[in-house]
Amino acid sequence: MNAPSNDPNQLFKELTEQTEQMMARLSHPDHLASIEKLTEAWTQLASTQWHDPTQWVENLTQFQRQQMNLWQQMMGLPTETQDRRFKSEHWEDQPVYDFIAQSYLLVSDMMSQWAEAAPVEDKDKEKLQFYTQAYIDAMSPSNFAATNPEVLKEAMESGGQSLLNGWKNLLGDVEKGRITMTDEAAFQVGENLAITPGQVVFKNHLFELIQYTPSTPEVNAKPMLIVPPCINKFYILDLGKGNSFIEYSVAQGNTVFVVSWVNPDASYADTSWSDYVDQGVIQATKIVREITASKKINAVSWCVGGTLLACAMAVMQSRRDSGINSATFLTTLLDFSDPGQLGLFLEPDEVDRREAAFRKEGYFSGKSLALGFNLLRSNDLIWSYVVNNYLKGKTPPPFDILYWNSDPTNLPAEMYAFYIRELYLNNKLKDGQLEVCGKSIDLSKVKVPCYFLSALEDHIAPWKATFEGTQLLGGKATFVLGGSGHIAGVINPPHKNKRNYWSDGELGQSADHWLDTAQSHPGSWWTHWSAWVKAQGDSQVAAPETLGSDTYPALYPAPGEYVKVRI
């Protein structure tokens, strides 16, 4: 690659070109097709017979009126906006940039209204709206050096150094194959992340089992096993002192174990969903019971870890294994009839094409999966970093959750294909048609107390869809709804006194009815959950003096080896 020019004008041109190339390389081909899909959708829309063009005419008239007002405002005071992309004083100080921003917002609003008014079916309308919004977000004038006054100011004041720094950031991310969202040098797993004391007491080809050192003289007689998602790493539950769900659970008087999944490569191509259930979750439950000499355990799970746990419980029930005393499901889908915006990527023909590609690789790339999740919130998780890192040449500040977000795991080809087809596309877990470990799964026969925690703004596991799980399992259900989204709604330590949660709504009817009858409480749901766990049996025993057992001795310190493998 040629060395960067010292001419500021040439730098602007080259940086813009490199940014476009970077986005092309970082994006998965499936997602790069979004613009093609948008064009196709709008072409079909234009050729559709509009039975009632009233809404279209009204939107166009409103747009023309607002555009005329904008021209008039250029001669007077700048227009205030609530859009944080244009909140800087630099957009308001110069009328031309204020006009650019306001014109963009007007066109964006018009396109959104047209997509909303399009006479197409519900699912097609969702696609049209999604790809329209993706196009709108990508075309923001804040994303381009020549139309962003903040970028120009940085370049002028630094003598072009900000552009050179941005170039370096860009090349580094191209090499990594992902956008840097945080100061990655500020974190290291095992040093300031995943630091709760413990030992790995078992390891096989799928997972390491970690047992944590107790911090109370007595513990609950029933140990706790945490099953995190295999899509991401477990340390989201152990971010650091004072911000760790695992640390909190230990402090509440529990003997805590966690499954740390392997980060698979092509050699795991044939590893199946049943393998994760039987050689993963069920194997872990057996070892925890053997180490603690307890007949039953309290299980905790999150996201796809909860789906695996539910399948494991059903298989265990069919084997007359009653080793689960209670189960907690954090933002977990058991009924996949409404997967939210993720469903936009799951059309059968797209799944066929994607599966053919990842089966050749032997695994589905965690980077592609992370990018897909980021596209659901592209302004926050893609474009803001393009502007900050590449156009302004800055390093993002340290943020533990975003470091974790950039540390994904691969998924075996066979396991992932089963997950997408049998659960998301065919929804067989709900219908009792899913076969796992040679057994037909019937969740209604699993009759243990279950705690469901969902998040109000969850865009990955929509709360009304996760609510349906309360009616699938056969035991007594407790449902709690937390504020915020898929991550922040779960990681909410009590001492921070943030957000709120709802509980005690009436089950057995719709999610809306439950919320209408629920009570709101300030702060974290963690305290409510801890009290629920203790209510499932609070007999105490002396805390173990050593970790592991004769059969399963401590192997090496937590957080183990699997969690440190990056892709």
Catalytic residues: 303
**Secondary structure letter of residue 304 according to DSSP:** H
Joined together, the tokens standing for residue 261 give 């999944």
Q: Where are the beta strands (DSSP E) in 180-247?
A: 198-203, 207-212, 218-220, 224-227
Strands 435-436 and 439-440: antiparallel
Who contacts 71 (Cβ-Cβ below 8 Å, separation ≥6)? none
- What angle separates helix 95-117 from helix 54-73, to the nearest 10 degrees? 170
| Measured distance CA(126)–CA(133) in Å, rounded | 10
Who contacts 536 (Cβ-Cβ below 8 Å, separation ≥6)? 222, 298, 325, 326, 449
Q: State the distance between the two ends of the chain, measured CA to CA, in whole angstroms.
A: 25
Are the C-beta atoms of 237 and 244 separated by less than 8 Å?
Answer: yes
Who contacts 6 (Cβ-Cβ below 8 Å, separation ≥6)? 160
Residue 295's Cβ-count burial label (10 Å; 0-12, 13-18, 19+) is exposed
Strands 477-482 and 500-503: antiparallel
Burial 542-551 (b: 16+ CB within 10 A, else e): eebeebbbee
Q: Is the omega angle on the peptide bond into residue 559 within 30 degrees of 0, that is, cis?
A: yes
Look at residues 321, 317, 315 and name the one whose alpha carbon lies nearest to residue 440: 315
CA 519 to chain centre: 27
| Measured distance CA(405)–CA(82) in Å, rounded | 28
| Measured distance CA(35)–CA(41) in Å, rounded | 10
Joined together, the tokens standing for residue 276 give 């994760």
Number of Cβ within 10 Å of residue 31's Cβ equals 17
Mapping DSSP to helix (H, G, I), strand (E, B) and coil, where does residue 8 land? helix
Strands 218-220 and 450-455: unpaired
Are the C-beta atoms of 490 and 226 separated by less than 8 Å?
Answer: no
Radius of gyration of the chain (CA): 26
Joined together, the tokens standing for residue 323 give 């080793």
Dihedral sign computed on CA atoms, order 43, 45, 51, 57: negative
Mapping DSSP to helix (H, G, I), strand (E, B) and coil, where does residue 556 land? strand
| Measured distance CA(214)–CA(192) in Å, rounded | 20
Who contacts 308 (Cβ-Cβ below 8 Å, separation ≥6)? 227, 230, 273, 276, 277, 280, 281, 301
